[in-house]
Chain A
Amino acid sequence: MKDKGTTLNPRSSEPDKGKTFSRREFVTSIGGVGIGAVLGGMFVSSIALPDKVFAVPASGGYLLVDTKKCAGCTSCMMACSLTHHGETNMSLSRIQITQDPWGKFPNDIQMAQCRQCPYPACVAACPTGAMHADPKTGVRTVDEDKCIGCEKCVNACPFTPSRALWNFEEKHAEKCDLCEGAKFWDEVGGPDGKRACEEVCPMGAIKFTKEIPVQSEDGYETDLRTGTVWDSLGFGGAPQSGGHLG
């Protein structure tokens, strides 16, 4: 996706575990750039907060996706629910891939992964602290026992579809935890472990980073293709062909 010039976080910084963003700092950091209507929703939900410093540690990592590489196989969605719930269930997946079979590349596929926002509206909206940043890793995640089912986080997430989702089977909110809580998987998840979606993706369309990525309204500016074997596969422009007999 092309950056439209609305960078949310122009700095690419080393994750700084103890680092916090105050709401004031955050507003300042984006103050100088155009902010789109989608992100505007974030402020509406944050206004309801008590007006003192809202401090959340930065996430220890982020998922990067390159929609141009994605084949729409939805393996990532099945891996996410399989490792977290022991079943393959796309409705419970914390990454969502949507597509239009007749659409024009690259707009035929949207990849909806959680941004682990520096200022997470989902966390801010939660009245009980169930939606929180893991104090050790900074990963924005849900303490299911504290969730009262108000779905404020689901409505607060500024992205569509909401990356915080309602688990209608177990009746609590959930969201991408970078596989920290993937209890049906023997591998260690989280920023220092493995992520199921990244592992299964046959195209290498998902990558993990500890750097805060540059964001636009449309997503991260991610190119996982250039300089890789992808360049030789012909997706960037079909060669002149003599047909299957040629």
Chain B
Amino acid sequence: MASSKGYSGKILKVDLTTGKFEEIETEKYKSWGGGHGIGSAIFFDLCTDKTIKGTDPGNVVTLMTSPLSGTLAPSVAGRTEVQGIGIQAYPIGWFTRSNFGGRFSTQLKFAGWDGIVLVGKSPKQVWLNIINGEVKLQDATDLWGLNTRETQEEIWARVEPSKKESGWINMGVSRDSGRTTQHPAVITAGPNAEKFGPMAALVHDAGNGAGQGGFGGVFASKNLKAISVVGTGGVDIADANALMAARMWSNGYAFGGHHDDPASYTGLTSFASTPGKPLSTIQDNPAGTKSRPQGCVGCIRNCRGRTDTGKGNESQCVDFFWYDHHDVKANGHVTDASPRAADAIQLAGVNAFAVEAATLWIEQLYNKGIMGKGKKIDSNLPFDRFGSGEWAEAFINSIVTQTDIGKELCKGVAQAALAWGRLEMDTKSGILPLQEWGLPHHYDARTEVEWGYGSLLGERDINEHDFNWHVYWTPTINGLFGVEPVVSAKRLSEIFAKKTAPFNDPMMINYSDEGIYSEAMAKTVAWHRHYTRFYKQSMLFCDWAWADMVNPYGPDNEGMTSVGENKFMNAVTGGDMTFEQGMEIGRRIWNLDRAVWALQGRHRDIEKFSEYCYTTGAQPGTTTYEAPYTMPVFEDNEWSYKSVAGRVLDRQRVEDWKTLFFKLEGWDVKSGWPTRETLEKLDLANVADELEKAGKLGA
């Protein structure tokens, strides 16, 4: 990037072992853009043995912002990228990522930092206190057993001086040290999170969580409870006027610009959805609950809510969905049990997605008479009240206190299945839907392959909805309502072709039985990996708003993607990056991550989905979105939307597709490892050297 604007200029390195702080110049890593790119590059440099476990003191954890953090770029400013060796995946805890919204990244930038790097392990329990340039490690013994809300409120009380100047909090001794009206932004692990590490999330405010990877457990393994940051500075913008103009331009694509004429689009869009309503019931509260929409810093979507009961505040989607359907089954409609379940995971700092899969599976085990009082898997959870708030709270509590079935589940879902002797059996039948790497999945590899392939060739359930809204949800919802989608399958293929540089192939959204094994699908997955690695995980465009592919307010239903991203970036940084240049940085980051996984033991031979994906079509009750699954297909020279539900994957054809993909990426087709030639073209000769030394360089 040509300009320094947007960056704070320095990254805080905290050596927890010695208690020493160091500044890393952001400049050194700027070619990676920000966020994930910088995090991966720092991890690569500082984590000398990448084969260690996530709980090893040698693990290097990064929390990174982007030049857009704390700016008016819409639905970008509030997100923080977390990386390090994870402890959730099975059998290898891959170097992985998670991401959370809220205010943390913004406060970190305002305090003058582009990111935080954690190395080592503290000799005693501590929390990290950042007030502008002043950084301290403080005793956390009395915080260690507190839940996420208690921890944050206690830290606020410690950071905020009792004396306020006319309602402003003075952050220092002189009147010019800086004032704010804002609470410190705190990211924290739950109570004694080392004891349920693989299930432990990091939580900020009431409902921002980094769930995947078990980073709550990784924090606790370093004897770190929480990080608090408050800043009174700002983010210097290269072209303030251009940034305001870009924001006003993007308003035209959002509810904010159409209060009087909101779109009546059937289906789901990203950027254009109305606030708090990306799904009709995204905040599952009992009838009559009054609420407001609520969002992260700078958001135009404001997808969550706060309620007049205070329950379910800031939770959304799987925070509720892990339990709402059990609530409805037991009670006929959504009751208090759903927000109680959401609050239970937020307060305990437990990964919502892991408990969603676990609960589906537990329900099956109970119904089959395998789990319950005096059963093979003995449990005293109140199964007669399954679907109630009591059950949800008792279940989460069992994990946090390692009691009842929580004794095994605290080690992870796959790990519990292994301990109960059910891993192989239940991932074969599919009643335990751990799609790859022992991880639960959002969308299905058998139907929506870009999601499955991306997760398998990566390291976690991707949780990136760039294709999903348009190729699955919208046609499926239209099908359920019996209406013709506004955007036809053919038109959708044109829009995607236009927005997916450098590939620009309309066949990239062909989800037919042939299309899912095609070279075009290899381009889809490559584009998706590169786009998300740079734009979403490094620049930190929120997954709930971006990519903006189809937009009911856009000209001919086209969203802002491939134009909007760089408009905002360049206004903030003063650079002149093109969309394609960003995609290329994304490819570079993806290759670096792939190299780290190779060092950790990745080989194409172990890149296999769970058995059920090859043998069993999705069955109701095993995942939460199985049928129907209507997607765009190109068959007999024609585009249409068609249900592909019930499909299974062909083992050999998946292998052949992987070969196509590795060729496209310039990786060795035998091992799936990056080659020297590919890495050197990406200016990653040092990475090639390290792979070669470890005997992991692709031929």
Binding between chains A and B? yes
Is B288 part of the contact surface with A, judged by Cβ < 8 Å?
A: yes
Mask: chain A, 138-176; 1 = CB below 8 Å from B; 0 = not: 000000000000010011010111100110100100000
Instruction: Identify which of residues 69-104 in chain A touch chain B, using a CB-to-CB cut-off of 8 Å.
Output: 69-75, 78-79, 81-83, 85-92, 96, 98, 101-104
Instruction: Tell me, rounded to whole Å, the shortest Cβ–Cβ distance linking B655 to chain A.
Output: 34
Of B175-183, B432-440, B687-695, the one contacting chain A is: B175-183
Closest to A98 in B: B181
Partner of B325, one of A82, A96, A102, A245: A245
**Residues of B contacting A69 with CB < 8 Å?**
292
Q: Contacts A79-B72, A203-B302 known; A166 to B179 CB distance under 8 Å?
A: yes
Q: Contacts A71-B299, A238-B283, A243-B325 known; A82 to B292 CB distance under 8 Å?
A: no
Report yes or no: A168 in contact with B178, Cβ–Cβ below 8 A: yes
Of A10-18, A26-34, A50-58, A106-114, the one contacting chain B is: A106-114
Mask: chain B, 255-298; 1 = CB below 8 Å from A; 0 = not: 11001101000000000001111010111111111111111111
Among A72, A157, A184, A244, the most chain B Cβ lie within 10 Å of the Cβ of A244
Roughly how many angstroms separate A186 CA and B288 CA in the complex, as a whole number?
45
Roughly how many angstroms separate A69 CA and B259 CA in the complex, as a whole number?
12
Report yes or no: B240 in contact with A202, Cβ–Cβ below 8 A: no
Is A246 part of the contact surface with B, judged by Cβ < 8 Å?
A: yes
Partner of B290, one of A82, A105, A202: A105
Instruction: Tell me, rounded to whole Å, the shortest Cβ–Cβ distance linking B477 to chain A.
Output: 12
Is A192 part of the contact surface with B, judged by Cβ < 8 Å?
A: no
Instruction: Tell me, rounded to whole Å, the shortest Cβ–Cβ distance linking B63 to chain A.
Output: 19
Q: Contacts A184-B240, A243-B327 known; A73 to B302 CB distance under 8 Å?
A: yes
Partner of A87, one of B237, B259, B299: B237
**Residues of B contacting A155 with CB < 8 Å?**
166
Q: Contacts A98-B182, A202-B254 known; A240 to B297 CB distance under 8 Å?
A: no
Instruction: Tell me, rounded to whole Å, the shortest Cβ–Cβ distance linking B167 to chain A.
Output: 3
Instruction: Identify which of residues 82-132 in chain B touch chain A, using a CB-to-CB cut-off of 8 Å.
Output: 103, 106, 110
How many residues of chain B have a CB within 8 Å of chain A?
A: 90
Instruction: Identify which of residues 218-246 in chain A touch chain B, using a CB-to-CB cut-off of 8 Å.
Output: 228-229, 233-246
Closest to B304 in A: A71
Closest to A234 in B: B277
Instruction: Tell me, rounded to whole Å, the shortest Cβ–Cβ distance linking A10 to chain B.
Output: 27
Instruction: Identify which of residues 292-320 in chain B touch chain A, using a CB-to-CB cut-off of 8 Å.
Output: 292-302, 305-310, 313-314, 320
Roughly how many angstroms separate A159 CA and B181 CA in the complex, as a whole number?
13
Roughly how many angstroms separate A71 CA and B282 CA in the complex, as a whole number?
16
Instruction: Tell me, rounded to whole Å, the shortest Cβ–Cβ distance linking B328 to chain A.
Output: 4
Report yes or no: A102 in contact with B256, Cβ–Cβ below 8 A: no
Partner of B293, one of A83, A168, A200, A203: A203
Q: Contacts A201-B256, A202-B256, A243-B328 known; A162 to B71 CB distance under 8 Å?
A: no
Report yes or no: A91 in contact with B178, Cβ–Cβ below 8 A: yes
Roughly how many angstroms separate A87 CA and B301 CA in the complex, as a whole number?
23
Q: How large is the interface on A (under 10, 10 to 19, 20 to 34, 35 or more residues)?
A: 35 or more
Partner of A229, one of B205, B259, B301, B306: B259
Instruction: Tell me, rounded to whole Å, the shortest Cβ–Cβ distance linking A246 to chain B.
Output: 5
Report yes or no: A161 in contact with B168, Cβ–Cβ below 8 A: yes
Partner of B338, one of A82, A105, A243: A243
Q: Contacts A103-B306, A184-B240 known; A88 to B235 CB distance under 8 Å?
A: yes
Q: Contacts A109-B292, A241-B287 known; A204 to B206 CB distance under 8 Å?
A: no
**Residues of B contacting A25 with CB < 8 Å?**
none
Of B242-250, B532-540, B670-678, the one contacting chain A is: B242-250
Report yes or no: A245 in contact with B624, Cβ–Cβ below 8 A: yes
**Residues of A contacting B149 with CB < 8 Å?**
102
Report yes or no: B307 in contact with A203, Cβ–Cβ below 8 A: no
Partner of A244, one of B74, B178, B305, B321: B321
Closest to A240 in B: B287
**Residues of B contacting A212 with CB < 8 Å?**
none
**Residues of A contacting B668 with CB < 8 Å?**
none
Partner of B310, one of A104, A200, A229: A104
Partner of B247, one of A72, A151, A200: A200
Closest to B260 in A: A229
**Residues of B contacting A71 with CB < 8 Å?**
275, 292-295, 299, 302
Report yes or no: B234 in contact with A241, Cβ–Cβ below 8 A: no
Report yes or no: A73 in contact with B307, Cβ–Cβ below 8 A: no
Instruction: Tell me, rounded to whole Å, the shortest Cβ–Cβ distance linking A95 to chain B.
Output: 10
**Residues of B contacting A233 with CB < 8 Å?**
274-277
Roughly how many angstroms separate A220 CA and B338 CA in the complex, as a whole number?
35
**Residues of B contacting A96 with CB < 8 Å?**
181
**Residues of A contacting B244 with CB < 8 Å?**
79, 82-83, 185, 187, 196, 199-200
Roughly how many angstroms separate A186 CA and B275 CA in the complex, as a whole number?
29
Is B603 part of the contact surface with A, judged by Cβ < 8 Å?
A: no
**Residues of B contacting A166 with CB < 8 Å?**
165, 168, 175, 179
Closest to A161 in B: B167
Is A68 part of the contact surface with B, judged by Cβ < 8 Å?
A: yes
Partner of A242, one of B245, B294, B328: B328
Q: Contacts A82-B72, A87-B236 known; A203 to B256 CB distance under 8 Å?
A: yes
Mask: chain B, 453-494; 1 = CB below 8 Å from A; 0 = not: 000000000000000000000000000000000000000000
**Residues of B contacting A83 with CB < 8 Å?**
240, 244
Q: Contacts A229-B260, A241-B284 known; A202 to B166 CB distance under 8 Å?
A: no
Is B593 part of the contact surface with A, judged by Cβ < 8 Å?
A: no
Q: Contacts A71-B302, A237-B287 known; A87 to B234 CB distance under 8 Å?
A: yes
Report yes or no: B328 in contact with A161, Cβ–Cβ below 8 A: no
Instruction: Identify which of residues 208-265 in chain B touch chain A, using a CB-to-CB cut-off of 8 Å.
Output: 232-237, 240-241, 243-245, 247-248, 251, 254-256, 259-260, 262
Report yes or no: B176 in contact with A90, Cβ–Cβ below 8 A: no
Report yes or no: B179 in contact with A91, Cβ–Cβ below 8 A: yes
Is B342 part of the contact surface with A, judged by Cβ < 8 Å?
A: no
Q: Contacts A104-B308, A235-B290, A241-B333 known; A82 to B237 CB distance under 8 Å?
A: yes
Is B698 part of the contact surface with A, judged by Cβ < 8 Å?
A: no
Report yes or no: B283 in contact with A202, Cβ–Cβ below 8 A: no
Instruction: Identify which of residues 320-355 in chain B touch chain A, using a CB-to-CB cut-off of 8 Å.
Output: 320-321, 324-325, 327-328, 333-334, 338
Roughly how many angstroms separate A83 CA and B248 CA in the complex, as a whole number?
13
Report yes or no: A168 in contact with B175, Cβ–Cβ below 8 A: yes
Report yes or no: B233 in contact with A238, Cβ–Cβ below 8 A: no
Q: Contacts A86-B240, A202-B251 known; A238 to B289 CB distance under 8 Å?
A: yes
**Residues of A contacting B295 with CB < 8 Å?**
71-73, 202
Roughly how many angstroms separate A168 CA and B165 CA in the complex, as a whole number?
13
Report yes or no: A244 in contact with B294, Cβ–Cβ below 8 A: no
Is B70 part of the contact surface with A, judged by Cβ < 8 Å?
A: yes
Roughly how many angstroms separate A109 CA and B292 CA in the complex, as a whole number?
10
Is B564 part of the contact surface with A, judged by Cβ < 8 Å?
A: no
Is B207 part of the contact surface with A, judged by Cβ < 8 Å?
A: yes
**Residues of B contacting A236 with CB < 8 Å?**
290
Closest to B77 in A: A78
Roughly how many angstroms separate A166 CA and B281 CA in the complex, as a whole number?
44
Mask: chain B, 173-205; 1 = CB below 8 Å from A; 0 = not: 001111111100000000000000000000001
Instruction: Tell me, rounded to whole Å, the shortest Cβ–Cβ distance linking A64 to chain B.
Output: 15
Roughly how many angstroms separate A165 CA and B181 CA in the complex, as a whole number?
11
Q: Contacts A161-B168, A238-B286, A243-B325 known; A75 to B298 CB distance under 8 Å?
A: yes
Q: List 22 A-B contacts (CB under 8 A).
A: A73-B297, A75-B72, A78-B77, A82-B243, A83-B244, A85-B234, A89-B233, A90-B110, A91-B234, A96-B181, A101-B306, A102-B310, A104-B306, A160-B167, A162-B168, A185-B240, A187-B244, A200-B247, A203-B302, A241-B334, A242-B281, A243-B327
Given A168-B178, A168-B232; 19 other pairs, CB 8 A cutoff: A74-B297, A81-B234, A82-B243, A88-B71, A89-B234, A91-B180, A105-B290, A159-B167, A185-B240, A202-B299, A202-B300, A228-B260, A234-B276, A235-B290, A237-B289, A238-B285, A243-B333, A243-B334, A244-B624
- CB within 8 Å of A: which residues of B? 70-72, 74, 77, 103, 106, 110, 149, 164-168, 175-182, 205-207, 232-237, 240-241, 243-245, 247-248, 251, 254-256, 259-260, 262, 274-277, 279, 281-302, 305-310, 313-314, 320-321, 324-325, 327-328, 333-334, 338, 624
